[in-house]
Structure 1
Amino acid sequence: MNILFIHQNFPGQFRHLAVALAARGDRVVALTLRVKQATDWQGVRMLPYQIARKGGQKVHPWMLDLDTKVTRAEACFRAALKLKETGFVPDLIVAHPGWGESLFLRDVWPQARIGLYCELYHLADYPHLGFDPEFPSPDPQGAAPRLRLKNLHNHLSFDVAQAGISPTQFQAGTFPQAMRDRISVIHDGIDTEALKPDPGAQFSLPSGQVLTRADEVVTFVNRNLEPYRGYHVFMRALPRLLRDRPGAQVLITGGDGSSYGAPPPQGQTWKQILLDEVAPQIPESDMARVHFLGRIPYGNFLQMLQVARVHVYLTYPFVLSWSLMEAMACEAAIVASDTEPVREVLRDGETGRLVDFFDGAALADQVCSLLEDAPTRARLGRAAREVITQGYDLNRHCLPRQLDWVDAVAAMPL
């Protein structure tokens, strides 16, 4: 079978599925912005497309999102036409539609089946709007119409697709029922053979200091350090945490940019804004135990999770992060926000500790409590890993179901 993947940052969520399809003998091609020239990766042929920047486009501000998606869709459409000229005809197209690239692929290959990765449908009310009052919309009256328009690409994409796949019930549940009925909930999968506890794990800090399981390590991970993932709440809990736990080493991983939500004021970063806010409350000797690691190689990231005594995860009601489930697989004791996507994988007191997203005092209390209580940490960590191995294990559960989904979509009528 000929299978075409579409993802601006391929492999992204398809990193295991695409490789498995190539390994079983399917011809797998990917169109992506990730490469600048044709490249072979683990049996997958990765082909580039380039976005043509068009100056002078004037659109209504509420349409900027769709305008950006159509620009990307045209770029992918042009690349698909060139691919078609080589004789490639996909039986199935698997696309992440979130950036718009998949909008016009049916115009290139009318007979191809299309399966969509359904990450999120934006709800034009609470909790997608108004969850965090500290960061209100600059246009409260216009926020709901603008957000509804952000879903146009979902409707246009579903109009030409056979089915969808979504990693969690929460994410699938954001879609309107007519779409939800065509979405299978199958997680991307956690490789529990690679992500597992290691009593001998070590993690080296940039200073050369080496941390082990014998150290009191607290970890916090964002793709980018920003409010959507609770960076502001965590930072405001730091003074108390550092004061009450004089031996704790706090490892903060994430970039300085913005992935979700409003960007910081021009020329600033959320990282520095919040650091500047709390720094006056933290003695220099305590601040020396806070380590901003930026983005680190995956192998180092794994070592960091393996030495963590407590892992903190906070999020708005939004897409659930891989990092939470990876920390669970490593048997870290988790303190997380009591928000809907988190409750899908964690139960308070059974597999982790849940706190109100905005309650920094409760967050510090729970982290300090677990740092004091080795038996409870061990119990919660074992239970958290069991959740992953029993329901989200890559090779035993998720990947076989993903492969079945691919075959089912490829067999669907047009």
Structure 2
Amino acid sequence: LGQDDLLREICNAAEFVAVETDYSRGLLQERCPEAAGKIYRVYNGLDLTHLPTPLEEERPLGPTIILSVGRLVPFKGFEFLLEACAELDRRNFDFRCQIVGDGPLREKLEKMVADLRLGQRVELCGSLSQGEVYAKLRSCDIFALACVVDAEGASDVFPTVIMEAMACAKPVVSTTLAGIPESVVDGMTGLLVPPQDWEALADVLVKLVRDPALRSRLGNAGRVRMTNEFQVSKTVEPLHQLFADCLARSPVRVPSTSQVATAKQSAYLIDRWPDSSLPFLEMELRALQRNEVPHVAFVMHPPVASELSARTNDLVRQFEYLPDAMVVEAEWQADTASLRELEAQRANQKHRPPSDLFLEQARCALILRRLFRQHNIGHVHATSSRTLLGALMLNKLLGLTISAAIEEKPILSEPVLREALNQCVGGRSNDRELLARGGSGFMFDQTLDKPSVNDIGPWLTRKARIEWTGARPFWQEWSERLLGWTRSS
């Protein structure tokens, strides 16, 4: 949330503050002492009806299966898990380790697997559907997540996948980091070691590989703990009571009819603000205001305090921001039907975007679906190739028309981009080949215009015209197209 002053201001103004662990509660009370009395711990819960029941039949003979699930990022500690696996291999234990997930560390982990000669022991499975992850949870012998604090200070706090593994009656091996000991009781439902200690991690894995009875005892205790303490119907009770107490003190005011949005609006999907790769986005938003285009800007990643500018504060105050990661994750896990629908959409695509980018945008799309209904959205405009993925999902979920502005260096590959733009009613780009394929709804983006060797003189004239006029004719034409798409919905 940026600076402590802003955090304290938010907490002081709130009726109450809910955090997911006692660990988080203690940290927040230290940073916001004046609000300490209204900071409450509300655990995330599980809906066990959506999780597979534990296997009851006897496990077939074969190597012990160690499973780990998470995005391939530093704070998940996969490097330490691989070091521990190398130690198990040196001791000649019969095991297999499956790592499910994708992310920026994939190449590094692949190299580690090769360097440690673990090719026959460790499998990097990539990103899998939720159903496939649950199937692996159900069939593994040990679940391991070697959480650490990364170089920027980021870490897991209360990993949901650990709770899911316990609900599947699997013994958990993890670290004593943050709120993990609040879900995993060391020696009762799993075994915990200090973060970054791969030797201790290897020792507890050896203990479980050697002792099937211990695995069974810890796993069954974990299932009981999840059933008795962490079912969502139980964990939501304190939050429900907090809201009830709040409403009793300050009854909610029902908005008048005049306050409810009736006209259709365009949604502007913005990945982050500010964004150096979109230098004319501020100009574009001000043009929409000037041309009276009803719209709502939805920002996925809000600015931190150091990025705020007095010049754009009026825009920032009007933006709609996605809720925090805990709320996004909860909505993601609660809507398995939409999740399967989006995964099927990706599976049917001839050219697919990177899985980690797909999962990020899918989470955003499920939250935006609810926000769009509140704001009476009639058309979705993606301001970049990244948010175009989310727009495509909202087209699938809500049937809304979509448009896109493609930046100079798009994040998507050309085949993926072409396939995505075929589903847009229009958009903007400075790539004339893309525009030729897109049809009459697409405009050449003058703000991204670049000179050729023989075009320096005319280009300077066009550039000066844009800077002097704020590209008013260009933005007027764009505004008219947006209005048409929105009203026709």
TM-score by length of 1: 0.53
d(CA) in 1 for partners of 2:96 and 2:116? 17
**What is the aligned counterpart of 1:167 among 20, 24, 36?**
20
Give the structure 2 partner of residue 293 of structure 1: 125
Give the structure 1 partner of residue 162 of structure 2: 324
Deviations 1:362-396 (A, max 9, x none): 2122112212211100111111222222221112x
Quote the offset at 1:151 in angstroms.
3.6
Aligned residues of 1:226 and 1:232 also touching (Cα < 8 A): no
Quote the offset at 1:245 in angstroms.
5.4
1:409 aligns with 2:246: yes
Give the structure 1 partner of residue 95 of structure 2: 248
Aligned residues of 1:236 and 1:278 also touching (Cα < 8 A): no
**Amino acid in structure 1 at the alignment position of 2:190:** G
1:235 aligns with 2:82: yes
Aligned residues of 1:313 and 1:335 also touching (Cα < 8 A): yes
5 Å-filtered alignment, 1:42-121, equals: none
Quote the offset at 1:213 in angstroms.
9.0
5 Å-filtered alignment, 1:302-313, equals: 302-313=134-145
Quote the offset at 1:162 in angstroms.
1.0
Quote the offset at 1:318 in angstroms.
4.5
**Amino acid in structure 1 at the alignment position of 2:144:** V
d(CA) in 2 for partners of 1:212 and 1:293? 22
Deviations 1:235-292 (A, max 9, x none): 2222223444554221112221xxxxxxxxxxxx32322432452221xxx4144222
Give the structure 1 partner of residue 41 of structure 2: 185
Give the structure 2 partner of residue 362 of structure 1: 200
What secondary structure, in the 3-state scheme, does the structure 1 residue paired with 2:189 have? coil
Give the structure 1 partner of residue 180 of structure 2: 342
**Amino acid in structure 1 at the alignment position of 2:133:** F
**What is the aligned counterpart of 1:216 among 42, 61, 64?**
64
Aligned residues of 1:200 and 1:213 also touching (Cα < 8 A): no
**What is the aligned counterpart of 1:281 among 116, 120, 125?**
116
What secondary structure, in the 3-state scheme, does the structure 2 residue paired with 1:344 have? helix
Residues 154 and 294 (structure 1), Cα distance of their counterparts in 2 relative to 1, 3 Å cut: farther
5 Å-filtered alignment, 1:1-80, equals: none
5 Å-filtered alignment, 1:196-207, equals: 196-199=52-55
Give the structure 2 partner of residue 376 of structure 1: 214
Give the structure 1 partner of residue 416 of structure 2: none
Quote the offset at 1:191 in angstroms.
1.7
| CA root-mean-square deviation | 2.8
d(CA) in 2 for partners of 1:213 and 1:402? 46
d(CA) in 2 for partners of 1:323 and 1:292? 17
Quote the offset at 1:212 in angstroms.
7.5
Quote the offset at 1:197 in angstroms.
3.9
What secondary structure, in the 3-state scheme, does the structure 2 residue paired with 1:381 have? helix
Quote the offset at 1:330 in angstroms.
0.9
**Amino acid in structure 2 at the alignment position of 1:219:** L
What secondary structure, in the 3-state scheme, does the structure 2 residue paired with 1:347 have? coil
Deviations 1:120-142 (A, max 9, x none): xxxxxxxxxxxxxxxxxxxxxxx
Aligned residues of 2:157 and 2:177 also touching (Cα < 8 A): no
Quote the offset at 1:353 in angstroms.
1.0
The structure whose residues are more often helix, as a share, is 2
**Amino acid in structure 2 at the alignment position of 1:299:** G
Aligned residues of 1:220 and 1:251 also touching (Cα < 8 A): yes
Aligned residues of 2:21 and 2:43 also touching (Cα < 8 A): yes
Give the structure 2 partner of residue 75 of structure 1: none
**Amino acid in structure 2 at the alignment position of 1:330:** C
**Amino acid in structure 2 at the alignment position of 1:354:** L
Quote the offset at 1:300 in angstroms.
1.4
Deviations 1:100-131 (A, max 9, x none): xxxxxxxxxxxxxxxxxxxxxxxxxxxxxxxx
d(CA) in 1 for partners of 2:130 and 2:16? 32
**Amino acid in structure 1 at the alignment position of 2:116:** Q
d(CA) in 1 for partners of 2:193 and 2:165? 18
Deviations 1:16-67 (A, max 9, x none): xxxxxxxxxxxxxxxxxxxxxxxxxxxxxxxxxxxxxxxxxxxxxxxxxxxx
Give the structure 2 partner of residue 121 of structure 1: none
Residues 365 and 182 (structure 1), Cα distance of their counterparts in 2 relative to 1, 3 Å cut: same
Residues 321 and 180 (structure 1), Cα distance of their counterparts in 2 relative to 1, 3 Å cut: farther
Residues 291 and 155 (structure 1), Cα distance of their counterparts in 2 relative to 1, 3 Å cut: same
Give the structure 1 partner of residue 224 of structure 2: 386
d(CA) in 2 for partners of 1:406 and 1:280? 54
Residues 200 and 349 (structure 1), Cα distance of their counterparts in 2 relative to 1, 3 Å cut: closer
**What is the aligned counterpart of 1:272 among 107, 114, 121?**
107
Aligned residues of 2:171 and 2:218 also touching (Cα < 8 A): yes
1:314 aligns with 2:150: no
Aligned residues of 1:217 and 1:308 also touching (Cα < 8 A): yes
Rg comparison, structure with higher value: 2
Quote the offset at 1:189 in angstroms.
0.7
Gap runs ≥5 in structure 2: 149-154, 252-489
Q: Aligned pair count?
A: 242
d(CA) in 2 for partners of 1:287 and 1:225? 18
Quote the offset at 1:232 in angstroms.
2.1
Aligned residues of 1:212 and 1:307 also touching (Cα < 8 A): no
Q: Between the two structures, name the one with larger relative contact order (CA 8 Å, sep ≥ 6).
A: 1
d(CA) in 1 for partners of 2:78 and 2:208? 20
Percent identity of equivalent pairs: 22
d(CA) in 1 for partners of 2:225 and 2:72? 27
Residues 323 and 337 (structure 1), Cα distance of their counterparts in 2 relative to 1, 3 Å cut: same
